[in-house]
Structure 1
């Protein structure tokens, strides 16, 4: 009998919409916000907002031109009070959408883990698997962790638009939203919804903006909140995950060796970065360490107190080590009720010593009074050693299971955070150092005009002075306020290191490093303040021997600085005294590279390329010198400031430049985006470690064919960079009236008025682009939806290079080469991916409304026309190279997210323009400024920044 064939079409199983829970969360939060709006502002305002929302959605998602006209008409008719309510509503919706997206990321990650999916790209498991497949041994990987340093450095900057109160409310909303993923009864779900409603109402009734200028102390406290939320628990937990994954991937190599040292350490600039910030001084630096130390002691004391309740182990039932018994005997707790509970007694003793240490280091209050007095710890290592006694005793007496829940985390935290919590970097501009030393040289009658000397004469004078036993400074002379302040902050650094440990402060970054003398000046200032110790041995012919406490780190920021970086470091390291100091640092030297100023100086493509070249030349120099290079990447949030996904950015670094050592800045709203949710924070920390692992240990193809191919790619980039540089410079620095256009067509002036940072928006009181800080420069272009620093110049560079030869075959060959660069060169692929994201967030129709703010019609039409033409060239060239006609074709999730956000950003941008018009008109007429108008502008800035997420 013939086999019967089923001719009916197969029934397709419905494909589950993975984003359905995200959509439901956004609908829920939107509905709750609408309910709150109706309750708080009345039904009439609610109806206005809802009508605007529906019209904006139609206009954006259905490309309905009539809806666009209707939307514009409605927005222009709003009263001032209605305008503020609409801006607030759409701003808060952007915030709530961010919360929902973060929760969805956590949900999807958990779904992968529950399904037993293969490790995700960017995870530690993925990195270890790749290394194993590439033949890297487990011993090599473990050695990597022994010597590595991976350090996210939190910084404050003048576009951080989030208030801590808002962040606190949003974290509670995130927690309640995550709770809804668990099985809940009808009653529990209703209760959860009620709490969410209450929290959204709290958000609505909480002031979004600051009425007073943010101080450095405020910035310090804001940063500390992320330690309590994420770093204090998630970072030790990440170490545990890494140990587990290592044991799983390399089981045959597993040994009983000691845990890895703290290879991930937190850094901070807040309180120590005084470049362009007159509000940072010795007092703020001391305050930063007191606050950081108090925060970590609060954590330790809470954990030790909790451990005392948990470790109720009795010696009537199990033994303890002699060391643990001795620790218990030294405790001030001599209660008869706990004579058989040595762990509790020991922990009461630890608590007493911690409390005493906290008070010694500046803590004003200890929440729980200790049982009795005890001597403070001299170092954090002593505290960690006491915790190790508990660990060892539990292991030896059937208590290993009791270590993991809390003691292991506390022990690891003590190693990571010490008594200082985060390493505080110092930073100052080179011109300040020159002025200070010029005054000191003149007052000491050593050199009357140090600043007027040539570079060689400066170097000779500085080296001579470094070799002398006496000081320039005299306590019996008077100096300028600037000199006194600079010397005071260095003396404070010495005191801080003695009080909180050497890791509390160990780096001194020099902004605008342009010469070797810029570096030597800080060495001499260290000598003057007791941070560089020189020993003279009359019996030795080797000369004075020196050791410095703070590593002197050059920051190369502008395009010229990046091009000179290798020559400066070569000359610096060739100086015998310097070479001796580097040897004392363990043959390690750090160099910082600035992404923001180089972009403002030369444009996106040239900045990225010059950074790549500087790294390549530096690693070659350092390898030849036998010195290990650690690069510190001064990245911002937006792509125009080196932003974009950190994982891809690290993997795109030139071969050999990571090598287990990397520091990078985390700034402004990016800190909130990455670390305000503990799970998201842990994932971002894991991405940093995984990327550093892969970039450091993955074998590189070193054959001559690959080398020739890379050299060919680099030659193309050099040509493209030169063309892009001239295009960008011509617009920004060579076009008459461009500065006027920028100040009129962006909300830069209004941003400067916001109380959103302790640092001024400009280094000098001018309107020159050169003097404007790179951060508000990029932030302003984001607000007007042009994001020009992230793409301008690319299109002209590619188009002119392709059209250079009219031969059609040659053009095809060049296109093929560009496509090969995307496929085979991570650097170029990451560059295009980041630019693709920027272009996806760019909206020319919205930007044209900001251009209308320029009163000079001829200037407006001329410059905006050039921007439009360059945007068109850029999108066409990008499509030619990638073959993708739509933005973010390779990242549909992000593409959908951005598309969905646009409908809610449109009203904010439209209203911001209208409010700016009113505000500037009143200013021009000399009328009294309407505070509601000003507040509306600032609220819209907040909402647009939240909607774009990485604009700082």
Structure 2
């Protein structure tokens, strides 16, 4: 472990230990340390897991809960120490002369060095788009109170690491101890159910604290890469290419709590946050822009704009002019800030009618400064504000609606029957009315995308357009997006799009948008149905087919990737995933869901957010280069027959397992599946319907529960059988090794499985599986684990898991023993609950211990669902 990281971990751990003694006496810390040493010894093979279990079983439930809380808080502190080290590393890299790998300058250099480099680069920049879409999918297990407490600890640690004087350092350490004590005493899980607007407000924290300020920095980085000497003194060569989207408050598929009123309120909350941010930024820049008319005269356009403002608002302009005499640029920006405030307060006389009006005003100021010779002022902070308006508008994020195709089918049937509409059907129509209202208030861009879950045919798209048309003059403008989720639906996708071209409403919209069309691909449900290996290849085939279809039909296609945070739901490093996509399918545009804990992991800190977006940008720019596409095409042609054989065997193994009689009941027994709902980490129910089978179980609790058991089955199951089928049982790995080295898709598949296996633990998993009392199922799962682990290592050539990924390997190895401690505590509770507990008080204590440990394991493993 690097020394700065070791220092921070030790400091925070020691402070937590002191706090434990203050709270529960030395005996509490001794028990925590006994368990810590025991799990480390078990990892080394010095003691058996049974000895660890005996230690845990010997404690009272109250003590077991305290120990679980201690390890959970420790993980939160370790996570933030690692975050600080990542930031340190990024800053150190930023001082180097060479372009940081996978950065924007690195991509620009590579494209420039290619044949026709400058022309290719200009084309790439012109079409560049990154569209992250925040969702409320419930995988963030921490309470907001815990998140903010951790943030305060993080701020203090950052100040302490900045090298303060002795007196200041002593006070920072005192405050740090106080915050850690507060974190220890804060309830780690929610005791009330979240509602959708809670989820909206939680997501706003990432915007307020990070994203609003980070976006212009990212554009500046691209602008500097394009012209290092000129950035900040000339019109920008980088355009605003990030578009923030959100499903939070709009995704109603199976969530009865997301209503039309919630959708309307979500947009208003977003608008409040972005307008406040723009007002603050505009006012700050206005106050700072103290250039005098004698040194920086106003342009004719600015003088005319000020004169018109004085006519419209004489009192306001006179007041601004009195405070800023002979400072026309300052006056006009302060006037613009007042208009933004009026927009937020809905003061019609002063408010902006649209963000385009604000952009026009800012462009006048920028042009006037440039004309007066103040280019640095024009293309510095004023330009950054322009980028922010271009990115966020007055709506912040483009709110998307999602609903299940069956709901539209029922609503349309009721409309045509002439009978009174059901409550659900009324809600569907009211949602469409709200979309129309949002568009009148904030523009079509604020809310036009309507995602149809489980799209089976063009008729599912036609149904939404028909429902909208039934509203007459109140119909919204809609971009109806098919979401293909099951294996069968993915195969049918090109045929569905072909049918969509026959719909008049779709043809009209294509004409209005320059023949732009969006399609969403579901990673979660396809993996739950086919297994991770076959789902990966099916999604690749679908991308390839859709790309060919779009080219043949002169369609500008955007593929919307419905990825989760976990590897079992399409997660993993985003930049590597982009470079592994089917050739031509990226085309300069990348749209992806950002879910649960991933939002705060990627966007919770400014430097980390900037690095993440730069890595994505790098990959999107490089994905369309000839070198990357040619390599992928050659490898796919050479190794696809091999991959198909792997896929067939992997799918057969996966389906055989989940189709075993009684599998669903066994899974619920060996995991905390049903108890996870009690964490109250989201407003959405775990199942689409009341049935208890796997089919209606959402992918998130499916993955979350397997993560808790330390099996991590959704990330690797079936791959071992697939690899064995093409390698003579693992005796001939030469062709597989060639494919791993040559084909980015295959390499990403194996690397992600390796990461998932590294976060598993066979010995602990065996104890969970035994709770199901189905030894044949346990043996099947464990045998596939052994087969997959052996063959993945054999193909990659690694001696141990994650051998070639030093940072990730260190993080996993650091955490695993402590996750083991929580797993042993969870097993104690789960085993007792599965055996049946008559005493209600004891059952309550066991459930509390179980949920505490679930929270802790989630914190330790970091990507849970």
8 Å Cα contact 2:759/2:861 also seen in 1: yes
SS in 1 for 2:154: helix
Match of 1:307 among 285, 300, 304: 285
**In the TM superposition, what is the alpha-carbon distance from 1:926 to its structure 2 partner?**
7.3
**In the TM superposition, what is the alpha-carbon distance from 1:89 to its structure 2 partner?**
0.7
What residue is the counterpart of 2:791 in the other structure?
877
User: Using the alignment, how far apart are the partners of 2:552 and 2:224 within structure 1?
Assistant: 37
What residue is the counterpart of 2:610 in the other structure?
682
What does residue range 727-738 of structure 1 map to in structure 2 within 5 Å?
A: 727-733=653-659, 735-738=660-663
Of the structure 1 ranges 930-939 and 504-513, higher mean CA displacement relative to structure 2 is found in 930-939
User: Using the alignment, how far apart are the partners of 1:532 and 1:521 within structure 2?
Assistant: 17
With the length of structure 1 as denominator, give the TM-score of the two structures: 0.87
Of the structure 1 ranges 27-36 and 130-139, higher mean CA displacement relative to structure 2 is found in 130-139
8 Å Cα contact 2:296/2:369 also seen in 1: no
What residue is the counterpart of 2:155 in the other structure?
175
What residue is the counterpart of 2:712 in the other structure?
787
Match of 1:650 among 568, 578, 587: 578
Of the structure 1 ranges 315-324 and 289-298, higher mean CA displacement relative to structure 2 is found in 315-324
What residue is the counterpart of 1:270 in the other structure?
248
Structure 2 segments unaligned to the other structure (5+ residues): 311-315
User: Using the alignment, how far apart are the partners of 2:625 and 2:690 within structure 1?
Assistant: 48
Match of 1:724 among 645, 650, 658: 650
Match of 2:61 among 50, 67, 80: 80
2:209 aligned with 1:209? no
Distance 1:248 1:726, change over 3 A: same
What residue is the counterpart of 1:902 in the other structure?
816
What does residue range 302-701 of structure 1 map to in structure 2 within 5 Å?
A: 302-329=280-307, 330=309, 332-335=316-319, 336-360=322-346, 375-403=350-378, 406-443=381-418, 478-530=420-472, 549-574=477-502, 578-700=506-628
Distance 1:187 1:63, change over 3 A: farther
What residue is the counterpart of 1:939 in the other structure?
852
2:271 aligned with 1:293? yes
2:32 aligned with 1:49? yes
User: Using the alignment, how far apart are the partners of 1:357 and 1:929 within structure 2?
Assistant: 56
Superimposed CA distance per residue, residues 7-59 of structure 1 (whole angstroms, 9 cap, x where no aligned partner): xxxxxxxxxx7x11111111111111111222223222122112222332333
Match of 1:144 among 114, 118, 124: 124
User: Using the alignment, how far apart are the partners of 1:309 and 1:375 within structure 2?
Assistant: 20
SS in 2 for 1:802: coil
SS in 1 for 2:317: coil
What residue is the counterpart of 2:766 in the other structure?
848
User: Using the alignment, how far apart are the partners of 1:530 and 1:504 within structure 2?
Assistant: 21
What residue is the counterpart of 1:63 in the other structure?
45
With the length of structure 2 as denominator, give the TM-score of the two structures: 0.95
**In the TM superposition, what is the alpha-carbon distance from 1:136 to its structure 2 partner?**
4.6
What residue is the counterpart of 2:313 in the other structure?
none
**In the TM superposition, what is the alpha-carbon distance from 1:100 to its structure 2 partner?**
1.1
Distance 1:169 1:126, change over 3 A: same
**In the TM superposition, what is the alpha-carbon distance from 1:256 to its structure 2 partner?**
5.7
8 Å Cα contact 1:604/1:791 also seen in 2: yes
User: Using the alignment, how far apart are the partners of 2:823 and 2:380 within structure 1?
Assistant: 49
Distance 1:526 1:903, change over 3 A: same
Distance 1:255 1:719, change over 3 A: farther
**In the TM superposition, what is the alpha-carbon distance from 1:530 to its structure 2 partner?**
4.7
**In the TM superposition, what is the alpha-carbon distance from 1:919 to its structure 2 partner?**
3.7
8 Å Cα contact 2:452/2:460 also seen in 1: yes
SS in 2 for 1:199: helix
SS in 2 for 1:376: coil
8 Å Cα contact 1:289/1:420 also seen in 2: yes
SS in 1 for 2:689: coil
User: Using the alignment, how far apart are the partners of 1:258 and 1:901 within structure 2?
Assistant: 45
SS in 1 for 2:339: helix
8 Å Cα contact 2:234/2:375 also seen in 1: no
Larger-gyration structure (1/2): 1
8 Å Cα contact 2:222/2:238 also seen in 1: no
**In the TM superposition, what is the alpha-carbon distance from 1:844 to its structure 2 partner?**
1.1
User: Using the alignment, how far apart are the partners of 1:506 and 1:929 within structure 2?
Assistant: 52
User: Using the alignment, how far apart are the partners of 1:516 and 1:164 within structure 2?
Assistant: 41
**In the TM superposition, what is the alpha-carbon distance from 1:949 to its structure 2 partner?**
0.9
Distance 1:195 1:407, change over 3 A: farther
Distance 1:905 1:842, change over 3 A: same
Distance 1:565 1:255, change over 3 A: farther
RMSD over aligned Cα atoms: 2.3
User: Using the alignment, how far apart are the partners of 2:220 and 2:473 within structure 1?
Assistant: 37
User: Using the alignment, how far apart are the partners of 2:238 and 2:473 within structure 1?
Assistant: 30
Distance 1:576 1:325, change over 3 A: closer
8 Å Cα contact 1:746/1:784 also seen in 2: yes
What residue is the counterpart of 2:668 in the other structure?
743
What does residue range 760-775 of structure 1 map to in structure 2 within 5 Å?
A: 760-775=685-700
User: Using the alignment, how far apart are the partners of 1:343 and 1:257 within structure 2?
Assistant: 18
What residue is the counterpart of 2:139 in the other structure?
159
User: Using the alignment, how far apart are the partners of 2:569 and 2:503 within structure 1?
Assistant: 34
User: Using the alignment, how far apart are the partners of 1:502 and 1:686 within structure 2?
Assistant: 28
- Report how many aligned residue pairs link the two structures: 857
Structure 1 segments unaligned to the other structure (5+ residues): 1-16, 362-372, 444-476, 534-547
SS in 2 for 1:827: helix
What residue is the counterpart of 1:11 in the other structure?
none
User: Using the alignment, how far apart are the partners of 2:100 and 2:59 within structure 1?
Assistant: 48
User: Using the alignment, how far apart are the partners of 1:417 and 1:220 within structure 2?
Assistant: 16
8 Å Cα contact 1:230/1:682 also seen in 2: no
Distance 1:187 1:586, change over 3 A: same
8 Å Cα contact 1:275/1:429 also seen in 2: yes
**In the TM superposition, what is the alpha-carbon distance from 1:102 to its structure 2 partner?**
1.3
Distance 1:899 1:585, change over 3 A: same
User: Using the alignment, how far apart are the partners of 2:696 and 2:175 within structure 1?
Assistant: 48
User: Using the alignment, how far apart are the partners of 1:72 and 1:198 within structure 2?
Assistant: 33
User: Using the alignment, how far apart are the partners of 2:133 and 2:820 within structure 1?
Assistant: 34
SS in 1 for 2:781: helix
What residue is the counterpart of 1:713 in the other structure?
639
What residue is the counterpart of 1:110 in the other structure?
91
**In the TM superposition, what is the alpha-carbon distance from 1:254 to its structure 2 partner?**
13
Distance 1:917 1:386, change over 3 A: same
SS in 2 for 1:271: coil
User: Using the alignment, how far apart are the partners of 2:579 and 2:395 within structure 1?
Assistant: 31
Superimposed CA distance per residue, residues 163-202 of structure 1 (whole angstroms, 9 cap, x where no aligned partner): 2221112222222323344333223332332222222122
8 Å Cα contact 1:513/1:554 also seen in 2: yes
What does residue range 789-828 of structure 1 map to in structure 2 within 5 Å?
A: 789-803=714-728, 812=732, 815-828=733-746
8 Å Cα contact 1:659/1:697 also seen in 2: no
**In the TM superposition, what is the alpha-carbon distance from 1:942 to its structure 2 partner?**
1.2
SS in 2 for 1:591: strand
